[in-house]
Amino acid sequence: MKETTKKKINKWLWIIVLVPVAGFFLMLLLVGVFTNIPSFRVLENPQTNLATELISEDGVVIATFHVENRSYVQYEDLSESLKNAVLATEDIRFYRHSGIDFRALARVAVKSLLLGQSSSGGGSTLTQQVAKTLYPRDTTTYNFPGGAAFKMLVIKMKEWITAVKLERNYTKEELLTMYLNSIFFGSNAYGIRAASATFFDKHPSQLTLEEAATLVGMVNKPTRYNPVLNYESSLGRRNSVISRMRKYNFISRHEADSLMALPIVLNYSTQDHNAGLAPYFRDMLRRVMSAGKPDPADY
């Protein structure tokens, strides 16, 4: 009888201790998740460092001034090969989920936890990647045992909520365009327009399939898969992208084999303030415009 009473007392002691602790962590999680979630106004007006373009009267871009070499393109400016390469490589179920791909998350969990495969991917959708790129991560630190894992959970939940809000606010075509306009390709090229110009001296609409595959392959590791710095690694990664396009029936086996046999042919040139037309005029204009913020009423 005494033993039974002792077990009941121990049970209640555990409950008394664990319930407040669990409640505290739940409250901490909710506060962490719902603090600094982007509002719909912020989602509608994402802040990015766009390059300022100096355009002549006949429409020629004379120069760009930038912190990040980034210029936007519209969805209509993206070649079909480029769009298909992104979908095949990054998010094949993009048009079938609402920001979170639970099937992909389950696959990653099974492969990582049960099968111990470290290369099973992260399960992040294109929309989640837009959320990570455009909206800064929480810098809060949690100084308790397991704090790092707790922070990762908070970050992921914020990312999921933001992704769902983005899906409600934008079309799939707009999200795909935002993704390609926001990602970093290395060599000071931010966004697909700057990357196309830097590596191939082309507009995104002019990219061939193998060129598009090269750029898409660089997204996750822009230094490792940079064809200027690591040609062989870039070639292998490009062929992996082409192989995935074949897997998902964007191209035929014959097309894939033919494309994978091609070398990467670059037309590489970095974009900086010193290159281009009319250097003295550009420098004078830069100094004039930097002296004070222009008043829109004057233009």
pTM reported for the whole predicted model: 0.73
Instruction: Give the CATH number of domain 40-290.
Output: 1.10.3810.10
> What tens-digit pLDDT sequence spans the chain (299 residues)?
555 665 666 666 556 655 554 554 454 444 444 556 666 566 665 656 555 565 666 666 655 655 555 678 999 999 999 999 999 999 999 999 999 888 877 776 676 555 555 444 556 899 999 988 877 666 666 666 666 776 777 778 888 888 988 999 999 999 999 999 989 999 889 999 999 999 999 999 999 999 999 999 999 999 999 999 999 999 999 999 999 999 999 999 999 999 999 999 999 987 655 555 666 555 666 666 666 655 555 54
Least Cα distance to 174 among 30, 75, 268 occurs for 75
Tokens of 286: 């830069």
Residue with tokens 């769902």: 164
Query: Distance between terminal CA atoms of the chain?
Result: 91
User: 70 has which bridge partners?
Assistant: 190
> Collapsing DSSP states into helix, strand and coil, what is residue 78?
coil
Annotated domain spans of the chain: 1-33, 40-290
Give the H/E segment covering residue 239.
helix 231-247
Cα–Cα separations (whole angstroms), residue 3 to 6, 15, 288: 5, 19, 87
Tokens of 150: 């707790």
DSSP secondary-structure letter at 294? P
User: 63 has which bridge partners?
Assistant: 54
